[in-house]
Amino acid sequence: MFRLLKLKPPHGWNAVAWELSVVVLGVLIALGAQQLAETANDRDIAAQTRAEVTDELNSDLMSIALRRSAEPCIDRRLAELRAIVSEWQLTGSFQAPKWVAQAPVIRIELSRYEAAMSAGRMALLSGEEQYRMGAVANRIREFNERQFAERLPWGRLRSLQFGPTVLSAEDRARIRTALQDAATLDYELKIIAAQTLPMARRYGFMPSEKAFKELAQETWAGGKFSPSICTPIDTPPEEANKTQRTPLPL
């Protein structure tokens, strides 16, 4: 017949309870310290993400503001080209423009925002911050898509520089379509700029010249924003291209 042995710690159950309490307390302290460290690290990452994305969005907003400042030149050039195409339609000929140029395409970057989204760092920001940054980023992306779409119709419009003896009736139809496409895209860009800049301002974002200064030094002579479309239409190309620092002249 077996007897159940009664366990009795050498220093009593009170000592065991005390030792267990110390161990549990140590574990809880370690877990708490780890949690505090993770919270502090997340806070630092959130602050860094907020600063980087804000800087990028503000730089992109500067690109939109610059495009908006060039709109009088774009409107004037579109009006000049409409007059040329109308003359061609009525008389069968026209005086070839020397410098059609194109609407300015100003660099837009969303790489930091997209990297933060992919890495899950945006989730460390508040829901309101995520919404505001996302709303501004979406408008900037839409703007960028439109300004790149502009390059094709403006390229076709520059064929007017060849003159009426080189171009055919089919070319005239394509150029008329390109003129309408350029005007439509320009109108859409005006709408996007008119909506985006005030919205961004309400959300705490503002156009910043910080990144633009570096871009200006690389792109325009003298480091001053001087879009090619603001150069008069009768300017010889070799003279007009001096205002730009592009690898290949228009």
Q: CA 147 to CA 186: how far, in whole Å? A: 8
The model's pLDDT over 194-207, given as tens digits with 9 standing for 90+, comes to 999 999 999 999 99
Q: CA 68 to CA 16: how far, in whole Å? A: 77
Mean predicted confidence (pLDDT) in 43-56: 92
pLDDT over 50 (residue 74): yes
pLDDT over 70 (residue 221): no
| pLDDT confidence of residue 26 | 74
Q: CA 213 to CA 22: how far, in whole Å? A: 61
> Over the Cα atoms of the chain, what is R_g?
32
Q: CA 204 to CA 126: how far, in whole Å? A: 15
Please report which confidence band the pLDDT of residue 247 belongs to, taking 50, 70 and 90 as the band edges.
very low
Poorest-pLDDT segment among 9-23, 65-79, 131-145: 9-23
Q: CA 115 to CA 120: how far, in whole Å? A: 9
| pLDDT confidence of residue 143 | 97
The model's pLDDT over 82-140, given as tens digits with 9 standing for 90+, comes to 999 999 999 999 999 999 999 998 888 899 999 999 999 999 999 999 999 999 999 99
Half-sphere exposure of 59 (CA within 13 A, CB side): 21
Cα angle 223, 224, 229; round to 5: 125
The model's pLDDT over 150-172, given as tens digits with 9 standing for 90+, comes to 999 999 999 999 999 999 999 99
Pure H helices in the chain: 13-69, 71-91, 111-119, 127-149, 151-157, 169-202, 210-219, 237-240
Q: CA 135 to CA 159: how far, in whole Å? A: 38
Length of the chain (residues): 250
**Bridge partners, residue 220, by sequence:** 244
| pLDDT confidence of residue 161 | 96
Average pLDDT, whole number, for the chain? 86
| pLDDT confidence of residue 226 | 80
Please report which confidence band the pLDDT of residue 225 belongs to, taking 50, 70 and 90 as the band edges.
confident
Mean predicted confidence (pLDDT) in 181-187: 97
Question: What's the DSSP call for residue 98?
Answer: S
Q: What is the pTM of this model?
A: 0.80
CB 39 within 8 A of CB 99: no
Please report which confidence band the pLDDT of residue 58 belongs to, taking 50, 70 and 90 as the band edges.
very high
| pLDDT confidence of residue 142 | 97
Q: How far is CA 44 from CA 51, 100, 124, 125, 225, in A?
A: 11, 50, 10, 11, 36
| pLDDT confidence of residue 250 | 62
| pLDDT confidence of residue 240 | 84
Q: Where are the domains of the chain?
A: 14-243
Higher-pLDDT residue of 48, 41: 48
pLDDT over 60 (residue 2): no
